[in-house]
Copies of this chain bind each other. A is one copy, B any other.
Amino acid sequence: MLRASGGWFRGVGAIGRGGGVSRYTVLAVLWLGGTAMLAVSDEGMWLLNEPPRALLQQKYGFDLTEQWLQRAMRASVRLNSGGSGAFVSPEGLLVTNHHVAADALQKLSKPGFDLYHDGFYAVTRDGELKCPDLEINVLQEIVDVTAEVQAAVQPGMTPAQAAAARRAVMSRIEKESLERTGLRSDVVTLYNGALYHLYRYKKYTDVRLVFSPEKAVAGFGGDVDNFEFPRYCLDVAFFRVYENGKPAATPHYFRWSPTGPQQGDLVFVTGHPGATQRLETLARLRHRRDVTLPYTLARLRALEAALLQYSEQHPEKRRQAVADLHSVANARKAFTGQLHGLLTPAILEHKQRQEQELLATARQRGIPTEQAERALATIAQIQEKLRSFEKEYALLESGHAFATPLFVIARHCVRMAEELPKPSAERLREYRDSNLESLQLSLFSPAPLYPELEQTRLRTSLLFMAETLGGDHPAVRLVLAGKNPADRSAELISGTRLFDPQERRRLVEGGAKAIEQSTDSLIQLARSIDPLARQLRQRYETEVEEPERQAYAALAALRFAVYGRSQPPDATFTLRLAFGIVRGYQAEGQQIPWYTTIGQLFARAEALGGREPFTLPPRWQERRRLLDPDTPLNFVSTADTIGGNSGSPVLNRAGELVGINFDRNRYGLVRNFVYTDEQARHIAVHSRAVLEALRKIYPAEPLLNELLRRQ
């Protein structure tokens, strides 16, 4: 994906791999013992091809039928902007969160026409707005390709050979699958390297905006209320997928529940959790705590401050930057929570006990543990290596030093000229044939970019690079080229023509020759830094990624031998099934109810004097009397979610949509590392609230009728 930030995957890469989760507060009670808890808690982001049938039957008497599961799979969708969604009509209508839609809303807006802030509703289909670069993926099939992938890596191969062989076989599997099925085909690494599954998706690239509420009610409470409950947000948006210029037929969809859930109900969440670190070793988590997360937070704080300062200069500048600003603030809050989690001694002690127990139990049962012990030691050593070049890797190869989509574009142009002539299996992974269409969707996107904003982001990230590596670092000298970050960013932005999608296309089509001849400032920058960036990537892949995969595979083998497949793999931004109970909780001596109401939304707005972020849109203020104040607005359940699950459907036993997940509470922020349901909850928009708002505020009868299947 092209975006320099946005969605759960912000900060993806070696560093900051793992999306938004965690916050300050500690687990009140950490479960003790290894995986024994799995039998009794609602932990689990389950693979759809290994669903927890027995557990659901045993614990809740729920029969997870094949039909239920097939609908869950084909009606749940993934957005390439970094979230989840669900089909809610047979005519391609899908619901997600406003904050997941934010990227598209922003790209559809322009000066004087601010969809993100003001909301939007297309009364007729003619009025639905085509998004410039939104892609929807719908999972069709999962195939286990572990044996094939592992067979490609021969004993005695060097890490570099192993990494190349693994990349090649994955690329080949994907290409063959794409050619045979016509479906987007991605090999997904599970358990950090123990299993490889091929995911086949139906892909939609003509996606149109149908409805979005005003930001003020979709994100009521802003950064203050983010990761908090009680909560009062109508965080929804509706899109429609099209094929051949017509609404796509989506026979698999979720019926919209007009009643929603009740206290104590069993509910399910089917979505695309981004990343968890529950199976990572103690050494790896220590590295995150002491290196990766501090770096990530420093980077996000610098970027957030810069975007905020830019926004304050002028209302139009605020319009340009605000969606990104919210997104960065969200990530900053989530990563802060992660760091607090890893600084909570009980959590790392728990991880340590888990590792010790696995080995002890295996030994008791006479299962050999030598390989797993070696793997633990190897992973610890890898962290030491990683420490020595992780920041350079993140800045120069992951691109944190160049925090503008324009640089991402420039690098793609430069690298495509070099990579595309090679056979698909030998290319850098993002240029494999099966990924090119999606890549070009974003590369050639006509979404507007604003020179002053991009200059601000670039200046900030160049400065951050210099802060992190020091002014005499060869890469810093190379990148800054004798100027300070302010002057260099001004020079780079004024010297590029990559704002124009036609110019990007010309460069990609012109291949190596066009790149060599280009005098574009950013193309030249991307070229000059590429040898070093590729070298860092090579180091990362051979010194970290590949040996970690092998080590985690050994650890997983022992875990499977001891516990079986009782624990699902860490999240990978692929479809998972979670379940839980709708239930309030105790906090600070008070019982927090399981839901909030529309009446309470107005009460909070009044209590806080109508200041941002607690102002309600004019339309809501004017039509307040029409609303039933007792309508449930948001609710919570114990189901296991993480960043990336935003926009996931919340389903009842009948497979009806009863809510749209949009957040966790602060207690849920440690779920990157451990599941807890004492106070931790995910938060969803109640299905009734959406109907009430569509009926009385906007009014949006046609949309309402489509949801309720009325003519």
- Whether A471 pairs with B332 at a CB distance below 8 angstroms is no
Among the listed stretches A286-294, A513-521, A535-543, which one makes contact with chain B, having 4 or more residues with CB under 8 Å of it? A286-294
Using C-beta atoms within 8 Å of the partner chain, give the interface range for chain A.
35 or more
Residue in B343, B463, B468, B472 whose beta carbon sits within 8 Å of that of A286 in the complex: B472
Give the chain B neighbours of A487 by CB distance below 8 A: 24-26, 344
Q: Does A302 contact B (CB under 8 A)?
A: yes
Chain B nearest Cβ from A136, distance in angstroms = 34
Residue in B312, B468, B613 whose beta carbon sits within 8 Å of that of A223 in the complex: B312
- Whether B315 pairs with A611 at a CB distance below 8 angstroms is yes
Chain B nearest Cβ from A461, distance in angstroms = 13
- Whether A486 pairs with B24 at a CB distance below 8 angstroms is yes
Chain B nearest Cβ from A676, distance in angstroms = 15
Cα distance, A485 to B484, chains bound together (Å): 36
- Whether A290 pairs with B486 at a CB distance below 8 angstroms is no
Q: Does A561 contact B (CB under 8 A)?
A: no
Chain B nearest Cβ from A88, distance in angstroms = 34
Cα distance, A302 to B484, chains bound together (Å): 24
Give the chain B neighbours of A309 by CB distance below 8 A: 223-224
Chain B CB within 10 Å, residue with most, of A332, A340, A342: A340
Q: Does A421 contact B (CB under 8 A)?
A: no
Cα distance, A221 to B491, chains bound together (Å): 27
- Whether A340 pairs with B608 at a CB distance below 8 angstroms is no
A-B pairs, top 6 by smallest CB distance, nearest first, are A24-B486, A294-B467, A290-B470, A301-B301, A343-B484, A344-B484
Known interface pairs A224-B312, A314-B608, A471-B289. Does A486 touch B305 (Cβ–Cβ under 8 Å)?
A: no
Give the chain B neighbours of A222 by CB distance below 8 A: 312
Which residues of A pack against B, CB within 8 Å? Answer: 24-26, 222-224, 286, 289-290, 293-294, 297-298, 301-302, 304-305, 308-309, 312-315, 332, 336, 339-345, 459, 463, 466-468, 470-472, 480, 482-487, 608-609, 611, 613
Known interface pairs A339-B467, A342-B471, A470-B289. Does A486 touch B312 (Cβ–Cβ under 8 Å)?
A: no
A–B complex contacts, Cβ < 8 Å, 6 sampled: A24-B459, A223-B309, A301-B305, A339-B466, A343-B485, A345-B483
Chain B nearest Cβ from A169, distance in angstroms = 39
Cα distance, A312 to B26, chains bound together (Å): 24
- Whether B340 pairs with A467 at a CB distance below 8 angstroms is no
Given contacts A290-B470, A305-B332, 5 further A-B contacts (CB under 8 A): A224-B309, A224-B313, A286-B472, A294-B467, A298-B301
- Whether B25 pairs with A340 at a CB distance below 8 angstroms is no
Give the chain B neighbours of A314 by CB distance below 8 A: 608
Q: Is the interface of A mostly helix, strand, loop or mixed?
A: helix
Give the chain B neighbours of A344 by CB distance below 8 A: 483-484, 487
Chain B residue, CB-CB nearest to A311: B224
Cα distance, A593 to B312, chains bound together (Å): 25
Give the chain B neighbours of A482 by CB distance below 8 A: 345
Give the chain B neighbours of A486 by CB distance below 8 A: 24-26, 340
Chain B nearest Cβ from A18, distance in angstroms = 17
Chain B nearest Cβ from A84, distance in angstroms = 27
Residue in B340, B480, B611 whose beta carbon sits within 8 Å of that of A485 in the complex: B340
Chain B nearest Cβ from A332, distance in angstroms = 7
Cα distance, A498 to B200, chains bound together (Å): 63
Known interface pairs A309-B224, A312-B613, A486-B24. Does A343 touch B468 (Cβ–Cβ under 8 Å)?
A: no
Chain B CB within 10 Å, residue with most, of A463, A471, A613: A471
- Whether A339 pairs with B290 at a CB distance below 8 angstroms is no
Chain B residue, CB-CB nearest to A293: B467
Cα distance, A302 to B336, chains bound together (Å): 11
Chain B CB within 10 Å, residue with most, of A302, A468, A486: A486
Residue in B332, B343, B484 whose beta carbon sits within 8 Å of that of A341 in the complex: B484
- Whether B298 pairs with A484 at a CB distance below 8 angstroms is no
Give the chain B neighbours of A286 by CB distance below 8 A: 471-472
Cα distance, A290 to B468, chains bound together (Å): 8
Cα distance, A613 to B504, chains bound together (Å): 39
- Whether B345 pairs with A290 at a CB distance below 8 angstroms is no
Chain B residue, CB-CB nearest to A347: B484
Give the chain B neighbours of A297 by CB distance below 8 A: 302, 467
Chain B nearest Cβ from A37, distance in angstroms = 22
Chain B CB within 10 Å, residue with most, of A223, A343, A468: A343
Chain B nearest Cβ from A391, distance in angstroms = 12
Known interface pairs A224-B313, A312-B224, A471-B290. Does A336 touch B463 (Cβ–Cβ under 8 Å)?
A: yes
- Whether A466 pairs with B343 at a CB distance below 8 angstroms is yes
Give the chain B neighbours of A485 by CB distance below 8 A: 340, 343
Cα distance, A459 to B343, chains bound together (Å): 12
- Whether B315 pairs with A24 at a CB distance below 8 angstroms is no
Chain B nearest Cβ from A531, distance in angstroms = 23
Cα distance, A222 to B315, chains bound together (Å): 15
Cα distance, A219 to B293, chains bound together (Å): 36
Residue in B305, B339, B463 whose beta carbon sits within 8 Å of that of A340 in the complex: B463
Give the chain B neighbours of A332 by CB distance below 8 A: 305
Cα distance, A294 to B470, chains bound together (Å): 9
Give the chain B neighbours of A336 by CB distance below 8 A: 463
Cα distance, A286 to B309, chains bound together (Å): 28
Cα distance, A401 to B25, chains bound together (Å): 20
Chain B nearest Cβ from A374, distance in angstroms = 24
Residue in B302, B313, B483, B611 whose beta carbon sits within 8 Å of that of A301 in the complex: B302
Give the chain B neighbours of A304 by CB distance below 8 A: 305
Give the chain B neighbours of A470 by CB distance below 8 A: 289-290
- Whether B294 pairs with A339 at a CB distance below 8 angstroms is no
Residue in B339, B463, B609, B611 whose beta carbon sits within 8 Å of that of A339 in the complex: B463
Chain B nearest Cβ from A224, distance in angstroms = 5
Give the chain B neighbours of A608 by CB distance below 8 A: 314-315
Cα distance, A43 to B340, chains bound together (Å): 49
Cα distance, A508 to B222, chains bound together (Å): 45
Chain B residue, CB-CB nearest to A302: B301
Cα distance, A334 to B222, chains bound together (Å): 29
Chain B residue, CB-CB nearest to A468: B294
